[in-house]
Amino acid sequence: MDTLKIGFIGSGFIARFLATAMIQVRHCELSGIYRRGGAEELSTFARENGLGDATLYDSVKELAKRVDAIAIFSPNYTRVEIMEEIADAVKEGAELTGVICEKPMGRNVEEAQRMVELARGAGLKTAYFENQIHMRALKNALAQLGPQREVMGPFTLARSTEEHAGPHNSWFWDPRKQGGGVLSDMGCHSIAVCRHILTPAGKPYDFLKPVSVQADTSLLKWGRPEYRRQLKETYGVDYEKTPAEDFTTGIFTYQNPETGDLVKGQFTDSWMYDKQGLRISIDGLGPDYALEINTLISPAEIFIGDRAAAGVADAETALEKSTASRGLLNIQPNEADLYGYVDELKNVVESFRQGEDALLTFEYGLEITRLVQAAYMAAEQKRTLDLTDKNVQTELDTYRSLISQGEGADLLYS
């Protein structure tokens, strides 16, 4: 096919980011949008930027009949039901090539497994959207270090951090709808990036075998009375009854099955970063070489004084999750490219146009979901989890964290 016609289900924050990225990608168009909150505004944005007709449809099945691929950008708790509708539409004759799902693949392993089964059962090619692996800074750094990795051996330690002051929408704060707190929301990024860096060049994503995980989930900021009141007033979420972690950290140990060598990936994520805005920090350490990325290091800055601050229309036009509208502020001139959304979209367009899976498949998303849930289990049980234990592996298949069930108060307030 010459042009991949994409339909969006979900028209919120991430859908707008991907639509912005689409401006920089050839051979694709935003042909349709499932009508829900924000769909009209997203459709207008698409047409104004020449992205496609962005026609609004009142059902998933109608959308599926008129596009080549569907991108699921809706809230976490809706995704299995939507995937079921997509699979039904294919059975009824919709000629879809593929389906895209934004991270996380599921709120638990069962949901992620169901997403895989539905997509493959419908004969669809798949793409799991984990944008940070597509970050050009990371890809270029790994390519530049190719000779060193070949001569000295692969990375032995990777560390990844994503932090900001908290999500935009109320459902993100509800652990029952979202699947947990910051570990579910952003830990999936950091765990995936660490494993990606540690994987030897040319090896598949599941090459490194998980050996163990130790983790902590804590409520350090948003559990305080003044912030709990803010959550209830702004988002209608009662953290007194159903809290979710706003800080998490942990270490995965992986084994290279060819050499027996052990390597480690450390993740740290928080919703309590009260500084400029979103910060992604990534580094990798190998034998006599290293890489380091910090998205708050920008080639541009602006300054806004107190008297001029009233004229700021939207601080987030300068930086995602910006927490200030005055003073010395960072500007990232192309966040969609910086965070990997552009290359992520390019990959899926090129892959689906050739009738192939994207670089990151639904099976990859399932694997990352399993690792995220393993970290929750380790934190909940307050022990290092042996991921080679068959009993642990079986338990993870049906595991649901106390936090994700809205029962994390004793865990997080103790």
**Domain containing 59 — which CATH number?**
3.40.50.720
- Answer yes or no: do 177 and 255 share one domain: yes
Those residues whose C-beta lies under 8 Å from the C-beta of residue 221, and which sit 6 or more positions away, are 227, 246, 247, 271, 272
- Answer yes or no: do 203 and 179 share one domain: yes
CA distance 239 to 237: 6
CA distance 10 to 70: 10
Q: Is residue 312 part of a domain?
A: yes
Those residues whose C-beta lies under 8 Å from the C-beta of residue 267, and which sit 6 or more positions away, are 159, 160, 161, 187, 190, 191, 194, 248, 249, 250, 251, 252, 375
Q: How many domains does the chain have?
A: 3
Helix (H, G, I), strand (E, B) or coil at 80: helix
Give the CATH number, domain containing residue 152.
3.30.360.10
- Answer yes or no: do 66 and 121 share one domain: yes
Residue corresponding to tokens 């099955």: 257
- Answer yes or no: do 142 and 277 share one domain: yes
Least trusted range by pLDDT, from 267-276, 296-305, 363-372, 394-403: 296-305
Does residue 126 have a pLDDT over 90?
yes
Specify the pLDDT at position 181.
Answer: 98
Region 90-115 average pLDDT: 98
Helix (H, G, I), strand (E, B) or coil at 385: strand
- Answer yes or no: do 256 and 376 share one domain: yes
Range of the domain at 269: 133-291+369-398
- Answer yes or no: do 378 and 231 share one domain: yes
Residue 241 CB: number of other CB atoms within 10 A? Answer: 9
Region 22-39 average pLDDT: 97
| Percent of the chain that is helix, strand, coil (3-state, to 5) | 40, 20, 40
Q: Which of 98-112, 266-280, 308-322 has the highest mean pLDDT?
A: 98-112
- Answer yes or no: do 99 and 193 share one domain: no
Q: Is residue 385 part of a domain?
A: yes
CA distance 379 to 358: 33
- Answer yes or no: do 118 and 150 share one domain: no
- Percentage of the chain modeled with pLDDT above 90: 89
- Answer yes or no: do 189 and 282 share one domain: yes
Q: Is residue 280 part of a domain?
A: yes
Does residue 323 have a pLDDT over 80?
no
Does residue 311 have a pLDDT over 90?
no
307 pLDDT tier (thresholds 50, 70, 90)? confident
Region 264-272 average pLDDT: 98
CA distance 102 to 112: 12
CA distance 248 to 376: 9
- Answer yes or no: do 287 and 351 share one domain: no
CA distance 44 to 16: 11
Closest CA to 122 of 58, 61, 57: 61
Specify the pLDDT at position 312.
Answer: 61
Specify the pLDDT at position 306.
Answer: 76
361 or 311, higher pLDDT: 361
Closest CA to 158 of 286, 244, 56, 337: 286
- Answer yes or no: do 73 and 123 share one domain: yes
Pair type for strands 247-255 and 289-294? unpaired
Does residue 34 have a pLDDT over 80?
yes
Length of the chain as a residue count:
414
Q: Tell me: the pLDDT tens digits for 132-184?
A: 999 999 999 999 999 999 999 999 999 999 999 999 899 999 999 999 999 99
Strands (E), 144-185: 157-163
- Answer yes or no: do 268 and 191 share one domain: yes
Q: What is the CA radius of gyration of the chain?
A: 21
| Cis, peptide link before residue 147, omega less than 30° from 0 | no
- Percentage of the chain modeled with pLDDT above 70: 97
State the average pLDDT for the chain: 95
Q: How far is CA 94 from CA 57, 87, 128, 399, in A?
A: 15, 9, 21, 35
Specify the pLDDT at position 320.
Answer: 67
Q: Is residue 147 part of a domain?
A: yes
User: How many CA within 13 A on the CB side of residue 404?
Assistant: 23
316 pLDDT tier (thresholds 50, 70, 90)? low
CA distance 284 to 176: 34
Those residues whose C-beta lies under 8 Å from the C-beta of residue 230, and which sit 6 or more positions away, are none
Specify the pLDDT at position 121.
Answer: 98
CA distance 193 to 92: 38
- What sign results for the dihedral spanned by CA atoms 387, 388, 392, 393? positive
Angle at 357 between CA 172 and CA 6, to 5 degrees: 60
CA distance 295 to 279: 6
Phi/psi of residue 214, nearest 5 degrees: -125, 140
Are the C-beta atoms of residues 193 and 339 closer than 8 Å to each other?
Answer: no
Are the C-beta atoms of residues 219 and 245 closer than 8 Å to each other?
Answer: yes
CA distance 114 to 109: 8
Specify the pLDDT at position 313.
Answer: 60
Are the C-beta atoms of residues 413 and 243 closer than 8 Å to each other?
Answer: yes
Chain mean position to CA 243: 21
Does residue 81 have a pLDDT over 80?
yes
Q: Is residue 177 part of a domain?
A: yes
Region 355-372 average pLDDT: 98
Q: Is residue 240 part of a domain?
A: yes
Q: Is residue 414 part of a domain?
A: no
Q: Is residue 412 part of a domain?
A: no
